[in-house]
Amino acid sequence: MKFTQKLAAAAVLVLSMGMGGSAALAAEEGGHAEQQNWTFAGLFGTYDEHQLQRGFQIFREVCSNCHSANLLAFRNLSEEGGPGFSEEQVKALAETYTIEDAEAEGGERSGVAADRWPAPFASDQDARDANGGALPPDFSVLAKARGIHQPFPFWVFNYFTAYQEGGADYIYNLLVNYHEAPEGVEVPPGQYYNSFLGGTLAMGPPLDDGFVTYEAGEGEAVPETLEQYSKDISAFMYWMADPHLAERKATGFRVLIFLIVFAALMYLVKRRLWANAH
């Protein structure tokens, strides 16, 4: 192969790595994990603003009744690469919440953009008491703390496809896999069987078809199904845990291009220097 051909082949390889693969893989914990096609996958991945807005709506209307998101500030919702709300929208939204503030008159005031998302319970103990003893985990970085397990050799491919959306795939698969327990599996009171986990957990199915009416946005109507909701909230939670992903990917890609060009230049320099060496 000529050098230019090799260079082209390398470029094609790098580009195809950026596309991000999708495959159905078995999760280690009994169940079956279906990998989704996330817009933020691969080398060029970015968040879909409308999907994040829908995911936020689900978070606000459903999940945030039990789960906190202590690292999320209202103003994050208007930051670049996120759900793309305007600063006015965020301000108006924050004002609808009451924030506990020891310095405010009466110990309470209405929210401002810089406030963190108010927790649904005053303490972990209150949260447990309301949830049969189980603590709903904080959402801030949950999407990064979970992942799907892949048997060899699949995880090896992840290095090439830059796959790192395991947390989003985990949440999606958890939400769509509440089923009747198979025969012989006992489900204790206050527990729910989930075939993705291959066991039970203390959270009942939080979503179902038609559960949330999406605020009319731009473009086509989005299906109001369990699958769609689950995708949208998973994407939102992934954004929350990794809001600067798109920026980082863009930087990474520029570095790759630089390295390829630099390698080519070095090769030409080498040829030139050694041209007369017989």
Chain residues in the site for ligand HEC (CB under 6 A): 58, 62-63, 65-67, 131, 134, 136-137, 142, 146, 171, 174, 201-203, 206-207, 233
Nearest 5°: phi and psi at 119? -75, 145
The full length of the chain comes to 278
CB of 233 to ligand HEC, least distance (A): 5
For residues 153 and 189, which CB has a smaller minimum distance to ligand HEC in the complex?
A: 189
Spell out the residues 6+ positions from residue 238 whose beta carbon is closer than 8 angstroms to its own.
38, 40, 143, 165, 167, 168, 245
- Report in angstroms how near the CB of residue 40 gets to ligand HEC at its nearest: 17
Q: Which is nearer to ligand HEC, 43 or 63 (CB)?
A: 63
Helix H or strand E segment including 249: helix 245-273
3-state secondary structure of 47: coil
Measured from the CB atom, is 42 or 55 closer to ligand HEC? Answer: 55
- Secondary structure element (H or E) that encloses residue 192, with its range: strand 192-194
| Nearer CB in complex with ligand HEC: 207/240 | 207
Instruction: Tell me the closest approach of the beta carbon of residue 148 to ligand HEC, in angstroms.
Output: 11
CB of 252 to ligand HEC, least distance (A): 28
43 or 168: CB nearest ligand HEC? 168
Q: Rounded to the nearest whole angstrom, what is the least distance from the CB of residue 172 to ligand HEC in the complex?
A: 9
Tokens standing for 192?
């729910």
Q: Cβ-count burial of 81 within 10 angstroms (0-12 exposed, 13-18 middle, 19+ buried)?
A: middle
Task: Give CA–CA dist 144/59, Å, rounded.
Answer: 17
Closest to ligand HEC by CB, 155 or 192: 192
**Is there a contact between 234 and 175 (Cβ–Cβ < 8 Å)?**
yes
Owner of token pair 């845990």: 241
Q: How far is the CB of 147 from ligand HEC (least distance, A)?
A: 10
Report d(CA 185, CA 195) in Å as an integer.
Answer: 11
194 phi/psi in degrees, rounded to 5: -135, 120
